[in-house]
Structure formats: structure tokens, C-alpha cells
């Protein structure tokens, strides 16, 4: 009974540090792409930071697994975390580290309070736009037939892809680029669904609250009416007694 609260305490204490590491990962991932002329030492430092961040998330998963009261149900319930931890080990590609880090950050974000849902949705939109732009730029910039050559082109493409507008003025030509496009489109649809569901839930809760208040007022009016009727009956009875 004490292991479950210990896991929850660990998750609460490590949530902000892990998000800070995720920001460090974002910077390390962006620098070599935005500055392709960066020196070898800079690239090596950025790569080391990426692996350190991934290692921190992997360690977090192992600690949570160790603190879980029942480990097999924990693995089943958090299979996406495990997949994200193992993903970069399959092939040491920077894009896989990017995908795994996004998955892990998203899984930890779900543990936050529903009050912060809007904040996390906005953060997810910004994060996906940024990482999607950087990722597609890294795989499309050197493509012979590619038309995404600058960061501005990549951001514009990511924005139109996530919103499923798809003007077609910029489009990926490589296999990885098209996979990124599919991921961004699905992510955009999912985020739109979350926002719509959140707004609908807010309206439903508001209507239910108003309905409860209306029922309470109606009940109060009925009780007051009954009291007035009882007082009238008593008054009529008293008048009848005095007449006799």
C-alpha cells in the first residue's frame, strides 16, 4: 500500500525537472539543424545532451517501474513509455530520439491535473510545430527534389500540415519527410479533438451546474409555497375558532 504513493510522489517531484530536460533536448536538437555550419564540437555536445535527456527519461521509467505495486500491470498500462525508451536503441538516429522524447514528455504531461489541460495542449501544439519543422528541415534540406530549404519554409509547412489545410506549396519528397507529415496530421487531428472535447465538457458542466441551481430554486419555491399554504390553513382555522 505504501509503494503506490511513493511512485506518485516520484512522478510529482520529477515532472518539472524532466520538462526542463526536455527543453534542453529541444535546444540541443535545434542547434545543428538551424546552424548546419556549426563546428564538430558543438554537434558532439548537442548529441551528448540528447542522449543524457533520453537517459533521464529511461531512468525515470525504471524508477517508476520499481516503485509500482504490481509491475506487470504497470508495464501493460505504460507500454508506450516502454516503446519510447527502447526506440532509440533500435537505431541511433536523431529522429528516433526526437520521437521517443516527444512520446515520453507527452506521457508525463498526461499525469498533470485537468486544470492544466489547456496549457499542455498549447504546449503540445508549439512543441509539435517546432520539432516537426526542425525534423522535416533536417531530412528535406539535402533532398535533390525537395522544396523545404529554409526554417521559414519548414515552419509554414508544419503549420499547414497540422491544421490539415495543406496548401501544397511545400511538401516532403523523402520517405522520412512523408512519415513526419502523417504524424503531424494525426497529431493535429488529435489535438483538435482534445480541444473540442474540453470545450464540450466545460459547456456540459456549466449547463449541469445551472440545472442543479434551477432545481434547487424550484424546490425552495415549492417549500415556500407549502409553508404559505400551511400558514393560511392555520390562519383560517384560528379565524373559525374565534368566530365560534
pLDDT at 1: 42
Using a cut of 0.75, tell me whether the model's pTM lies above it. no
- As separate numbers, helices (DSSP H) first and strands (DSSP E) second, the chain gives 8, 0
pLDDT at 2: 45
pLDDT at 75: 84
Task: Identify the DSSP state of 150.
Answer: S
Residue 216 neighbours by CB distance under 10 Å: 10
Residue 20 neighbours by CB distance under 10 Å: 11
pLDDT digits (tens, 9 = 90+) for 167-208: 778 888 888 888 888 888 888 888 777 777 777 777 787 777
pLDDT at 202: 73
Task: Identify the DSSP state of 200.
Answer: H
24 to 29, 132, 170, 195: CA distances (angstroms): 9, 17, 29, 27
Q: Which residue has the higher pLDDT, 161 or 7?
A: 161
Q: Which residue has the cell 530520439?
A: 97
How far is 67 from 198, CA to CA, in rounded Å?
A: 32
Q: Cα 167 to chain center, whole Å?
A: 27
Residue 199 neighbours by CB distance under 10 Å: 11
pLDDT digits (tens, 9 = 90+) for 80-99: 777 777 776 655 555 556 66
Nearest to 95 by CA among 62, 145, 47, 59: 47
Q: Residues 11, 4: contact at Cβ < 8 Å?
A: no
User: Whole-number mean pLDDT of the chain?
Assistant: 78
pLDDT digits (tens, 9 = 90+) for 199-244: 777 778 777 777 777 788 888 888 888 888 888 877 777 776 665 5
Amino acid at each position: 500500500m505504501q509503494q503506490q504513493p511513493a511512485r506518485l510522489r516520484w512522478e510529482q517531484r520529477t515532472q518539472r525537472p524532466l520538462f526542463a530536460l526536455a527543453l534542453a533536448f529541444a535546444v540541443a536538437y535545434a542547434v545543428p539543424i538551424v546552424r548546419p555550419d556549426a563546428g564538430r564540437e558543438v554537434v558532439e555536445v548537442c548529441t551528448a545532451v540528447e542522449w543524457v535527456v533520453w537517459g533521464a527519461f529511461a531512468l525515470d521509467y525504471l524508477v517508476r517501474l520499481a516503485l509500482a505495486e504490481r509491475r506487470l500491470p504497470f508495464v501493460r498500462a505504460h507500454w508506450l513509455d516502454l516503446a519510447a525508451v527502447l526506440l532509440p536503441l533500435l537505431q541511433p538516429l536523431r529522429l528516433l530520439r526526437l520521437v521517443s522524447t516527444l512520446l515520453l514528455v507527452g506521457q508525463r504531461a498526461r499525469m498533470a491535473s485537468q486544470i492544466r489541460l489547456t496549457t499542455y495542449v498549447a504546449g503540445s501544439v508549439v512543441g509539435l510545430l517546432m520539432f516537426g519543422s526542425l525534423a522535416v528541415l533536417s531530412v528535406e534540406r539535402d533532398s535533390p527534389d525537395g522544396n523545404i530549404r529554409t526554417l521559414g519554409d519548414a515552419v509554414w509547412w508544419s503549420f499547414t500540415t497540422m491544421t490539415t489545410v495543406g496548401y501544397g506549396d511545400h511538401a516532403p519528397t523523402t520517405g522520412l519527410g512523408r512519415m513526419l507529415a502523417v504524424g503531424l496530421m494525426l497529431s493535429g487531428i488529435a489535438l483538435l479533438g482534445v480541444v473540442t472535447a474540453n470545450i464540450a465538457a466545460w459547456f456540459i458542466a456549466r449547463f449541469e451546474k445551472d440545472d442543479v441551481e434551477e432545481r434547487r430554486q424550484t424546490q425552495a419555491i415549492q417549500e415556500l409555497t407549502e409553508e404559505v399554504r400551511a400558514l393560511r390553513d392555520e390562519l383560517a382555522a384560528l379565524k373559525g375558532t374565534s368566530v365560534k
